[in-house]
Structure 1
C-alpha cells in the first residue's frame, strides 16, 4: 500500500525548487497553494494533508484511492481533481465550502450524493463511472438542490442514464454533457430542456433519442438559449427558421 507522507507532499509542489531551506517541511506546507499528487500510485492520503491550510488546488487524479480522503478539512480549497481512481462513494466534502470545481470522472460511483456543503460548486464532472451490469447513475435530490443555484457545468456522459428528469432543477446550468447514455424519450428530454433556461451548450450524441425524426430541430426549439449542440454552432438564422416553422407552419416540434 502506498500512503502519502510529509516528504512526498513537499516534493509535489510547483515551488519545490524555490523552497526556503531554513523552514521546516511543516512550515513549508502551510504556505503552498497547489499540490500535485497525481499519478503517484497512492492508495491513501494521510492526515499530513491538514498541514496545507492555504491549499486551493489539489491534484489527486490517476491514483488508486478507494475513497475520498477523510482529512480534507481544507477551507480554502477551490479545485479538487479525483478522476481515474477507484472511489465508490462521494463523502468527506462537507468542510469544502469554497470548492468550485470537482472532478470525479472514471471512478466507481453509482450515487451522486454528499454535495450538501458545496455552496459554491460551479463545475461537476462525474462521467464514465464503472457501474455494475444493469446499473445507471442515481442522483440524490438533496445534493442536487444544494448546488442548483451555482452549478453551471455538468458532465454525466457515459453513465447508462435513460432520462435527465432528475436534473431539471439545475436551473443555473450553462453546459451539460449527457452524451453516450441510454436516453430514448424526446418528450421527456423536451420537458427537461424547457427547465434549463440558461443552457448554452448541450452534448447528447450517442443516445437512442437522437434517432428520433427531427430530434436536433426539436432540441433547438425547446432549448431557447442553446448556442452549441453536439459541437455544432446553432446559427441565428437556423434558430429563427425552426421557430417560425414551429409557430406558423403547424409543425409540432415543441413536444411535452
Structure 2
C-alpha cells in the first residue's frame, strides 16, 4: 500500500465505513443514531416489550344462537346434525306462534277469525207472545226482519177461542209447517226462543217444540229467554172485570 492506513480511512466517507463494519460483524440492518437512541434507552433494562392488548371482538355467535337456537361453528354453519328440527324451537318460530297473524289458511285449517265472527253473530229468533186473549208467534232473522208473523185469529179462531190452549197449539204447528215449506230450517243454524207472557199459549207452543213435529227447530235452539214485561209502579191498573 502506497498510502498509510490513517489517510485511507480518512479519505473514505463515514457512511461507507460504517456499512463495511456492519457487514463484517454480521448484523443484518442498521439504523441512524438519531432514530435508535430512544429505543436503545427503552431496551436498556433487557426486558422484552410487553405485547399490546387487543380489545376482544364482540361475539356474534351468542346473538345467532339466541335467535336460531343452534351453536354455530367458525364457518357460520350449524354444528348440530339436525339443524332444521331445532329451528322449530327457536325464538323466531315462538314469536310467530304468539303473533296475531292467522296462518291457519296455509295449513288448510278453518280460519279462527271466521269461527269467532260466526259466534258473535246474532241468531234467528222465535218469539212466542201469549196473553189471556190471544197468542202471537213471530220468527225473525238475525237483523230482526220478520220471516213470518201470525196469531190465532189468522188461522180461523174467533173471539174468546183465540186465547185457548188448542188454538195456540194449532198455530205453532201451522207456523212450523210454513217454515219447512219455504226451506228456512236449512238456513237457520242458531235459534233463540223468546217467551213473553203467561197465557195458555205459552205452554202449548213449548209442547209443540218438544214433540217430534218440532224436532226441525229444536236441535238448533241455543238460548231460551223470557222477555215478559214487569211493571214497577207506573200507571194505575184497570179495574178488574166483573161478570
Report the TM range for the smaller structure's normalisation.
Answer: under 0.3
Larger radius of gyration: 2
Instruction: Select the structure that is richer in helix.
Output: 2
Higher relative contact order (CA 8 A, sep 6+): 2
